[in-house]
Structure 1
Amino acid sequence: MILFFYLVITLAATVLLLPVWADMLRLAGHLETNFRGRPIPQSMGGIFLPVFLIAAGWARWAELVSADFVDRSLIVVLGLGILGLLDDVWGDGSSKGFGGHFRRLVFNGEITTGLIKAVLGFVVALWAVTGLPGFFLLVFLRAAIVALSANLLNLLDLRPGRSLKGFFLLAFVYMVLVPAEAGVLLLLPLLLAAFVYLPWDLSGRGMMGDVGANALGGMLGLVVVLTAPSWIQALYFLLLVLAHLLAERLSFTRIIAANPFLSFLDNLGRQQWEK
């Protein structure tokens, strides 16, 4: 019954708050132009923050998940999500990737909003993983997994639904490889909220923004850190590093378009909305 209410609360909160959040963004004038040339709400992923806050409150009160895990999750989802929202609103998108921000700092002496978000995001990740068992330097590796995982979904968020599909795929792989109840329970609210929001993204009625990508990716990284064995954490870290190195030199969109299977997954669901 406790789990049932956990799911019901999450779904109800998402369904009720999603149109309200969209209207608030329209009233605030926080819009971007979609592929049809129409202005649509940006930062729709902000809906994940209050939904997760409500679900986490229930999970903590009902002792569905340990209070320590819930508190660390709130730090990641709210902390990284708010940083993403600030970057959505005031960010300078002229530089892409860590390399672009670093080059502007070194050669032009400019501190970009993206660089500030990356530094503060790592601080938030450090806060979330500090105190976990292990030797001192391990805390930095764990924080890197959380921060890079959040940024990975940002890198994918270039086409409708792509970042969400990446989240679903990585979460599925995690649940297959790591039979940890706590991790699955922590991911459930975001999985449900993302699934409810998915048609909005696929149809170009809203853009998820950094706020959503940060919250989803950061949470995925945190559950890996909290529940996965060391070899999976190391493997995920290497995957994240490789993805970021590729992103500095290659276009994910071109890589996906050149692979029939990846292209099929990328277009899945999107084409029916675009017709």
Structure 2
Amino acid sequence: MRALLSGAVAGALSAGALRLLRGRPPGGATTWDRTNHAGRTVTLLEGPAYAVGAAGGAALLGAGPAPVVAAVSAAGLGALDDLAGDSSSKGLKGHLGALARGEVTTGAVKILGLGLTGLVSAALVDRSARSARSARRLAFADGVGRGGAIPSAVDTLVGGAVIAGSANLLNLLDLRPGRALKVTILLGALTATSPRSATAAGAAVGAAAGLLRPDLAGEAMLGDTGANSAGALLGTALVQRTGRRGRCVALAVLCGLTLASEKVSFTRVIESTPGLRELDALGRR
């Protein structure tokens, strides 16, 4: 129920925010206009609208501070790359390579920033878990309940990497209309099956659903602002529902996909795979 409520609130907020932003775009419409893969002009204002809807839905339905911090901070770092970045360096390898040469790109700032804010978000998740489990242990001492394993510093470190990696992965998928939003909806629906993560995951799904129509129509796109925000929120929801084993598995998958993206085109793989190809094109004009 909490997932449905947070999703409904997030969807309404994101759709409303996009309408308001398109009516009065900060800095003017051309600041946010970009050319997509098909040569059409689209607006990046969908990204800020997603962050507003997702963070608002999570906050209003009591998801805790971690999902809000993750969604908002990742959106801010993504906006830096959207508005001030250049295309001289691309991908994780390109930005880290430039940093090794002494060149500080906006992409490198974003990568380092996502690592730091991911760690902060994971620490907030685990602090809440420690408090809740301490309360249950006290209740058990009174014969009312029982406690569980308390997250360690290693758990928090892995969780922070999962959140940062999720933010980066969603950005890698935002290359065709609707793709990143569909992935957000699918992964968010799976993550929402636990009471611990239902509110945050529901907000991620709802905000994505509220923006799916203009995205599929090729009118707007998430950009780094929205894709990083969506990925960070999904990663935080995953951290909320998993312990060390689940986080380690998630991190291994994220690392594998990120490294693969340096060598393999996700778009080429999707378009050559039956099932994925049809799902990717579903609803797209």
Counterpart CA distance in 2 for 1:134 and 1:181 is 18
Query: Does the 8 Å CA contact 2:185/2:205 hold for their aligned counterparts?
Result: yes
Equivalent residue, structure 2, for 1:48: 50
Structure 1 match to 2:226: 212
Please tell me the residue identity of whatever aligns with 1:173.
Answer: L
Measured after TM superposition, the shift of residue 9 of structure 1 is: 3.8
Alignment RMSD, CA only?
Answer: 2.3
Counterpart AA for 1:118: I
TM-score by structure 2 length? 0.82
Task: Report the CA distance shift for 1:123/1:35 in structure 2 as closer, same or farther (over 3 A).
Answer: closer
**Is the 2:174–2:223 contact (alpha carbons within 8 Å) kept by the matching residues of 1?**
yes
1:185 maps to which residue?
199
Q: Which TM-score applies when normalising by structure 1?
A: 0.85
Identity %: 32
In structure 2, the partner of 1:71 is: 65
Q: Which of 110, 117, 125 is the equivalent residue of 2:110?
A: 117
* Contact 1:25–1:42, Cα closer than 8 Å, also in 2: no
Q: Any idea what the Cα deviations from partners look like across 1:103-124, whole Å, max 9, x if unmatched? A: 2233x43111101110011111
TM-superposed deviation, 1:168: 1.9
Q: Tell me, yes or no, if structure 1 residue 99 matches structure 2 residue 113.
A: no
Is the 2:37–2:175 contact (alpha carbons within 8 Å) kept by the matching residues of 1?
no
Q: What is the identity, as a one-letter code, of the residue corresponding to 1:115?
A: A
Whether contact under 8 Å (2:6, 2:202) holds in the other structure is no
Q: Separation in 2 of the partners of 1:197 and 1:81?
A: 16
> Which amino acid in 2 is paired with 1:190?
A
With 183-192 and 130-139 compared, the bigger mean Cα shift is at 130-139
Moved more, 124-133 or 235-244: 124-133
Q: How far has the Cα of 1:197 moved from its partner? A: 0.5
Residues 79-101 of structure 1, C-alpha deviation per residue, up to 9 Å, x if partnerless? Answer: 11111112111112332221111
CA distance in 2: counterparts of 1:145 and 1:109, whole angstroms: 27
Residue type at the aligned position of 2:232: G
> Cα 1:102–1:4, aligned 2, differ >3 Å: closer, same or farther?
closer
CA separation in 2, counterparts of 1:227 and 1:249? 32
Distance 2:239 2:2 in 1: 26
| CA distance 1:23–1:39, shift in 2 (3 Å) | farther
How has the CA–CA distance of structure 1 residues 127 and 118 changed in structure 2, closer, same or farther, with 3 Å as cutoff? same
Please give the alpha-carbon distance, in whole angstroms, between the structure 2 residues aligned to 1:28 and 1:204: 16
Amino acid at match of 2:53: V
Does 196-205 or 125-134 show the bigger shift? 125-134
* Partner residue in 2 for 1:145: 162
- Which 5+ residue runs of structure 2 have no aligned equivalent? 127-149
Deviation per CA, 1:200-237: give whole Å up to 9, x if none. Answer: 11111011111111111111111111112433322211
1:187-210 CA distances to partner (integer Å, 9 max, x unpaired)? Answer: 222211211211111111011111
The residue matched to 2:220 in structure 1 has which SS? coil
- Look up the SS of the partner of 2:75 in the other structure: helix
For residues 4 and 242 of structure 1, the distance between their equivalents in structure 2, rounded to whole angstroms, comes to: 32
Structure 1 residues 104 and 199: CA distance shift in structure 2, 3 A: same
Distance 2:24 2:110 in 1: 24
Q: Secondary structure at the match of 2:61?
A: helix
Amino acid at match of 2:179: R
1:53 to 1:171, Cα distance in 2 relative to 1, 3 A: closer
Structure 1 position 49, deviation (Å): 2.3
2:179 is aligned, of 154, 162, 180, to 162
Q: Unpaired runs of 5+ in structure 1? A: none
What's the offset of the Cα at 1:251?
0.9
The yes-or-no answer on 1:129 pairing with 2:143 is no
Secondary structure at 1:25 match in 2: coil
What is the rounded CA distance, in whole Å, between the counterparts of 1:257 and 1:38 in structure 2? 21
CA distance in 2, matches of 1:54, 1:201: 20
Is this contact kept in 1: 2:11–2:209, CA < 8 A?
Answer: no
